[in-house]
Amino acid sequence: MEAAHIISEKEGGSDDADNGIPVCFDCHQEIGSYNDDHPKGNKFRPEELKARRDRLYNLVETGVIYAQVVAERARAGGHGKEMPKFPKESKPPAPSGEAIRFLKALLSSDGAMSGVARKLSLLNEQDRAYVLDELVRKATEDGKLIPVIGEIVRTPTFPRSEAILVAEQIVRAMTLYGDVPSKADFLSAFPSDILGSVYEGLRLAFFEDIISIVKRDQFHEVNKIVPPFVEHVEAIPEQLYQDYVLALLDQARSGAYTGAPAAKKALEVLPDDVAKAGILAVDKEFLTWNRMEEDAKKFVTRFGHLGRPSQQKLFRDYLNLSQVDFWKKYSTDD
């Protein structure tokens, strides 16, 4: 097997994993033989090669390929015979002394080492993988490493596919057992476009956790996490838009000295699709309890037009009636 470029280097293809495909020697020759000007021949376009590659990766990851090989070997061995054993998985090569010393320097640098990504690029591929794996593994135990990893993935020359993989590893760890300061450090260190490319299931669990922290409004927590959190609105899954907006409205009336101002600012610049999800949740009960809240009034004024037609009269009364008149009109006996 060989690692082939899907789009050749000559045509500007990159060396990252997204442009690579594992092929046998013969297929390596075939996928490079397509001639767009010739009516015959192989028609393997980059999109088709990636689709086929990804389907095969999925078969491997789900165990389908392994099961087929086991079944085939069992059939070949005949009935009643012991299942053929697979060779033990080979251990990855040990890191070089250079990689071990570099990692040790990183771990003792208090996050102050400059040009980490450029220095990391001086190592070979196996040593880079070792250093990155160790940094990610230790990041949830030592918060000073998160900005170091953030600097690495923000470097333009660092492969985007690797940056997303690193982000997924950290998001999973942070969701399962990261504390609030670590989560805040992660949100501060990682770019929103990378976080937004993380598998949606992971983002759902992670951002649900962050929203729950905001809602419980413990000042020592929200003062740390709200300012970096609101910078990642584009990475929040659509299923959480409504919860996000309602959490911001609650936080805006909080007494948290950095959490509340950050929430107020975020409410002023909400994307329309996010704001719409929030405005659809605003009912008479919400407006009755928030009658005197200036940020709720600003929110309804700015985004009320995104609501349902049935909400428009409620919004107009909320903005125009006095507190007593609104309460008399919309309150229930309860």
Q: What is the mean pLDDT of residues 270-299?
A: 90
Q: What is the mean pLDDT of residues 243-272?
A: 95
Q: Give me the pLDDT at residue 106, please.
A: 83
Element (H, E) at 278: helix 272-279
Q: How confident is the model at residue 34 (pLDDT cuts 50, 70, 90)?
A: low
- Six-digit token pair at 51? 């689709």
- Six-digit token pair at 74? 């069992």
Q: Which residues contact 289 (CB under 8 A, 6 or more apart)?
A: none
Q: For the segment 75-108, what is each residue's pLDDT rounded down to a tens digit?
A: 666 555 555 566 666 666 788 999 999 988 888 8
Nearest partner of 113 among 152, 153, 140, 141, judged by Cα: 152
Q: How far is CA 268 from CA 30, 225, 271, in A?
A: 55, 19, 9
Q: Give me the pLDDT at residue 76, please.
A: 66
Q: Give me the pLDDT at residue 155, please.
A: 87
Lowest mean pLDDT among 53-57, 70-74, 300-304: 70-74
Q: For the segment 136-162, what is each residue's pLDDT rounded down to a tens digit?
A: 888 877 778 898 899 888 888 888 888
Lowest mean pLDDT among 24-33, 168-177, 218-227, 324-333: 24-33
Cβ 236 vs Cβ 206: under 8 Å: no
List, in sequence order, every residue forming a beta bridge with 20; answer none if it has no partner.
5
Q: Give me the pLDDT at residue 55, please.
A: 77
Q: Give me the pLDDT at residue 331, please.
A: 75
Task: With H, G, I as helix, E, B as strand and everything else as coil, classify residue 297.
Answer: helix
CA of residue 144 relative to chain centroid, distance: 20
Q: Give me the pLDDT at residue 273, please.
A: 95
Tell whether pTM > 0.75. Answer: no
Q: For the segment 115-138, what is each residue's pLDDT rounded down to a tens digit?
A: 788 888 888 888 888 898 888 888
Q: Give the Cα separation of 265 and 257 in Å (integer).
A: 13
Element (H, E) at 21: strand 20-23
Q: For the segment 190-248, what is each residue's pLDDT rounded down to a tens digit?
A: 999 999 999 888 899 999 999 999 999 999 999 999 999 999 999 999 999 999 999 99
Q: How confident is the model at residue 189 (pLDDT cuts 50, 70, 90)?
A: very high
Q: What share of the chain is helix, strand, coil (3-state, %, to 5)?
A: 65, 0, 30
Most confident of 38-52, 60-74, 88-102, 164-178: 164-178
Task: With H, G, I as helix, E, B as strand and everything else as coil, classify residue 22.
Answer: strand
CB neighbours of residue 36 within 10 Å: 7
Matching residue, tokens 């911001």: 248
Domain boundaries, the chain: 2-77
**192's torsion region: left (phi>0), alpha (psi -120 to 50) or beta?**
alpha
DSSP character string of 233-245: GGGS-GGGHHHHH
Q: How confident is the model at residue 36 (pLDDT cuts 50, 70, 90)?
A: low
Q: How confident is the model at residue 280 (pLDDT cuts 50, 70, 90)?
A: very high
Q: Give me the pLDDT at residue 245, please.
A: 96
Q: How confident is the model at residue 5 (pLDDT cuts 50, 70, 90)?
A: confident
pLDDT at 292 over 80: no
